[in-house]
Structure 1
Amino acid sequence: MDRRTAQHVNPDTPFLNDPAAQALCVTLEEAGHVALFVGGCVRNALLGVDASDIDISTDAVPQDVSRIVESAGFRAIPTGIEHGTVTVIVDGSAFEVTTFRRDVATDGRRAVVAFSKDIKDDARRRDFTMNALYANRTGTVFDPLDGMPDLQAGRVRFIEDAGERIREDFLRTLRFFRFHAYYGNPKEGWDADALSGIAANLDGLETLSGERVGAEMTKLLSAQDPAPALAAMTRTGVLSCILPGADPTLIAPIVHLEGLIGALPDPMTRLAALGGIDAPKRLRLSRADQKRLEAIQDQSLSMLSPTAIGYLAGQQAGIGAVLLRGAMANTPLDHGIIAQVMTGVRSEFPIKASDLPNLQGKTLGDRLKALKQDWLASDLAKSKNDLLGS
């Protein structure tokens, strides 16, 4: 094994300075095995971007990994041993250690693998060239499939045959667009082989669970600007497959308005703009996300002020609603609109049931509701005396 490059990750990279990760690698190496950081942590280190997970690849088979690390006093958990993965706990930190492997068979969701001693076999079963990068514990980068030029140029390319990679796991179609939104260089355009492979395998998207599709779409919609990726998904027919009726027309205006008022990207605001038939059910949204989505959609159609919307919908949904309303009306928003929403979020309705001692039951409820509507229509300006005197 040696496809090392002249490249090194930044010495300040977290996994090079993580005592637990370093101890694990040293333990495997001293037992005569290779231990390499792989995938997202290496890719992001080379880009200067934070990465949450630290994954390690090795030529040691899972049984040997477990034996070696337990002899060193670490804990081994066989979380995915049939696929070569052992979770190793070192001083309270968890690392997935996976044996080099190659795919033997796959149904588009799960693969049957065989273990290997060859890093190139392991690299070939990954999705994109920019994810087939490895680094040892000193930061030297190994690039068995020449993915470094693609990473540096912002080219998102499938490894070898795009169609084959997609048929190994149909979720890779959605990952392709998500990776383009995060790491792609617009000047590089879209890889023709990838788009061709995606278009030829649209039927496979129907085999994916709603949970997997929803998780991937949430990540895509959280990108700084998902508009180009969503437009490409529309052109290839992907978007209509996973979310019939969705239209990305309002996504670019939403992104523009977010920048204008200083709002952070919110996937539920973008999903509200995207639309689609039965989106919460198709994407298996959590109850919290579904509630926020509904609030954004409902309040974006209201005539209330941003302050009143903030009171009714809360911070995230309130900001999302004013953004969506602005995008639909093609209207610029004032930078202070977030402060207006937040004023509503912090406000309290000045009337309590005890302020209406002569009313009870339905009559009391109707009166409180009418007074609240009056208060909301006043941009939350009316006091208790103003309301009770009305």
Structure 2
Amino acid sequence: MDRTYDLTLPTDTRWLADADAQAVCDAVHAGGHAIYFVGGCVRNALLGLPDSDVDMSTDALPERVMALAKRAGLKVVPTGVEHGTVTVVSGGKGFEVTTFRRDVETDGRRAIVAFSSSIDDDARRRDFTMNALYADAQGRVIDPLEGLSDLRARRVRFIEDADARIREDYLRTLRYFRFHAWYADPANGFDPDALSAIASNTDGLETLSAERVGAEMRKLLCAPDPAPALAAMRQTGVLGTILPGSDDRWMAMLVHFEGHLGLQANWIWRLAALGGEDTANRLRLSKADTRMFENIRSAAFEGKSLSEIAYRHGLEIAQGAMLLRACLAESPPETSVLETINSAIQAKFPVRAKDLIHAYQGPALGARLAQLEAAWIASNFHATQETLLDMPDT
């Protein structure tokens, strides 16, 4: 297999210069074993992107890693010994160190693995070529499966047989689209072999837990522009399988409008643009995320003004409702709308219960407050306390 040692990670790669990470490498090297940084941290360093989790891979068995780490005075947590993973704590930071592995048996959700001494075996069981990149403690890059060419071209490609990689873990279908949204050059389009294999294996998506699907969708929707990936998901039948009733037709517009207004993307309002049946349960949203999703959806399609929505529900829900309404109208919002929303958020209702308690009690007091608040909102928050208190009770 091809090994590339003439390429070195950038000198400003922070985790490579981290003395705590190097201490883990030194501990394993002291026992005569190889150890490499692997996966996302290497990929992101080569792409000039922010640090990813720093994971390591070694030819040493888990028990040997633990013994060597302890000998070096490092703490060890046996987080997944049966799968080959131990967490070595160095300088208060945890580093996952995993023994080279090869898959023995898979069922689409989990794998039975055997330990290996071969970096080639370890590389082949990964998902995409750009994730099968390793770097030694000096930062020299090892490329067993020629993933560098794909990384340089910003091309997301399954390792070897796409159909086999997907059947090993059906979540890789969603990971493919997520990686495409984050790392691919849109000009390259999508790998035809990948799309063909994905379209042939959509049934396997139904075996995945809602938590795993939801986590992947969140990461995808946080990408700078998830619209092309979502369109490909629809075309291959993936989107309809994981989120029946959803529709991605607004996503490209919504992303454009975000950029037009200079808004920081919010994955919940993007999810609200997708819609779908029983979305909160299918993606196992938290209670807080569910409330925001439902509030944005209802606010976008009800008749209340954006000012009132902002006043009652806050900035993100008002902005989300604004964007969804703009998509419905197929017209970008005016930038002045943002000023209106920001002003409404800061507005303070000038009447308090103590101002009315001399004349109203119980339910009547609540009804009067609600009446005056509605009038104040209708005045675009301009009505003064005096004006409101002088209003007749209807």
TM-score by length of 2: 0.96
Cα shift readout 1:358-385 (whole Å, capped 9, x = no counterpart):
1122211222222222222222222222
Contact kept in structure 2, 1:254 and 1:327, CA below 8 Å? yes
Q: C-alpha separation between the residues in 1 aligned to 2:202 and 2:99?
A: 31
Q: Which residue of 1 aligns with 2:371?
A: 370
Q: Is 2:73 the partner of 1:81?
A: no
- Rounded to whole Å, the distance in 1 between the matches of 2:224 and 2:115 is 38
1:342 CA drift (Å): 2.6
Aligned match of 1:383: 384
How big is the shift at 1:85? 0.4
1:311/1:111 CA distance change after superposition, 3 Å: same
Between stretches 372-381 and 256-265, larger displacement belongs to 372-381
Who is 2:207 aligned against? 207
The match for 2:232 is 232
Query: In the alignment, which residue of structure 1 is the partner of 2:3?
Result: 3
Q: CA deviation at 1:2?
A: 7.7
User: Is 2:116 the partner of 1:132?
Assistant: no
Secondary structure of 2:159's counterpart equals coil
Report SS of the residue matched to 1:4. coil
SS for the counterpart of 1:5 is: coil
State the one-letter code of the partner of 1:273: A
Matches within 5 A, 1:31-50: 31-50=31-50
The 1:133/1:336 distance shift into structure 2, 3 A limit, reads: farther
Instruction: Look up the SS of the partner of 2:86 in the other structure.
Output: strand
Whole-angstrom distance in 1 between the partners of 2:326 and 2:363: 37
2:166/2:172 contact within 8 Å kept: yes
- The equivalent of 1:337 in structure 2 is 337
* Identity of matched residues, %: 55
For 2:167 and 2:380, locate their aligned partners in 1 and report how far apart those are by CA, in whole Å. Answer: 55
Amino acid at match of 2:351: I
Quote the Cα distance in structure 1 between the aligned partners of 2:9 and 2:334: 42
Query: Retained in 2: the 8 A contact 1:299–1:313?
Result: no
Alignment of 1:183-194 (within 5 A): 183-194=183-194
Aligned pair 1:352/2:352, yes or no?
yes
Which residue number corresponds to residue 294 of structure 1?
Answer: 294
Structure-2 separation of matches of 1:53 and 1:377 = 51
Deviations 1:163-216 (A, max 9, x none): 111111100000000000001111111111111111111110000000110010
CA gap 1:336/1:44 in 2 versus in 1, 3 angstroms: farther
5 Å-filtered alignment, 1:237-316, equals 237-316=237-316
1-structure distance, mates of 2:281, 2:382 = 39
Deviation of residue 303 (structure 1)? Answer: 3.9
Measured in 1, the distance between the counterparts of 2:169 and 2:265 equals 28
CA distance in structure 2 between the partners assigned to 1:271 and 1:371 by the alignment: 35
How far is 1:389 from its partner?
Answer: 2.2
Pairs within 5 Å for 1:16-27: 16-27=16-27
Partner secondary structure for residue 15 of structure 1: coil
Cα distance in 2 between the residues matched to 1:307 and 1:67: 63
Distance in 1 (CA, whole Å) between partners of 2:35 and 2:348 is 58
1:2-42 deviation digits (Å, cap 9, x = unpaired):
81332211110111121111111121112211111110000
Asked if the contact 1:9–1:139 (Cα under 8 Å) also holds between the matched residues in 2, the reply is yes
Contact residue 4 and residue 142 of structure 1 kept, 8 A = yes
How many angstroms apart in 2 are the aligned matches of 1:381 and 1:307?
12
Partner of 1:327: 327
- Once the two structures are superposed, residues 61-86 of structure 1 have per-residue CA deviations (whole angstroms, 9 ceiling, x without a partner) of 10000111011111111111111000
Deviations along 1:225-251, one digit per CA (max 9) or x if unpaired, are 100000000000000000000000111
Separation (CA, whole Å) in 2 of partners of 1:386 and 1:150 = 68
> Structure 1 117/244 Cα, relative in aligned 2: closer, same or farther at 3 Å?
same
Contact residue 307 and residue 380 of structure 1 kept, 8 A? no
Q: Is the 8 A contact 2:35 2:57 kept in 1?
A: yes
What letter corresponds to residue 390 of structure 2 in structure 1?
A: G
Q: Distance in 2 between matches of 1:377 and 1:33?
A: 73
Report how far residue 351 of structure 1 moved: 1.7
Give distance in 2, aligned partners of 1:99 and 1:52.
20
**1:50 and 1:75 mapped to 2: Cα distance?**
27
Q: Could you report, residue by residue, the CA deviation over 1:340-370 in whole angstroms, capped at 9, with x for unpaired residues?
A: 3232222222221111111122211222222
Query: Partners in 2 of 1:197 and 1:243 — Cα distance?
Result: 20
Across the aligned residues of Structure 1 and Structure 2, the Cα RMSD in angstroms comes to 1.4
Q: Which residue of 2 aligns with 1:57?
A: 57
Retained in 2: the 8 A contact 1:251–1:270?
Answer: yes
2:295 & 2:379 partners in 1: Cα distance? 21
Q: Which amino acid aligns with 1:312?
A: R
Q: Is 1:71 paired with 2:71?
A: yes
Structure 1 stretch displaced more, 12-21 or 336-345: 336-345
Q: Secondary structure at the match of 2:233?
A: helix
**Which of 143-152 and 11-20 deviates more?**
11-20
Matched with 2:147 is 147
CA offsets 1:43-70 (integer angstroms, 9 cap, x no match): 0000000023100111111000011101
Q: Which residue of 2 aligns with 1:122?
A: 122
CA contact (8 A) 1:214 1:284 kept: yes
- The amino acid across from 1:306 in the alignment is L
- List gaps (5 residues or longer) in structure 2: none
The residue matched to 1:12 in structure 2 has which SS?
coil
Q: Which residue of 1 aligns with 2:96?
A: 96
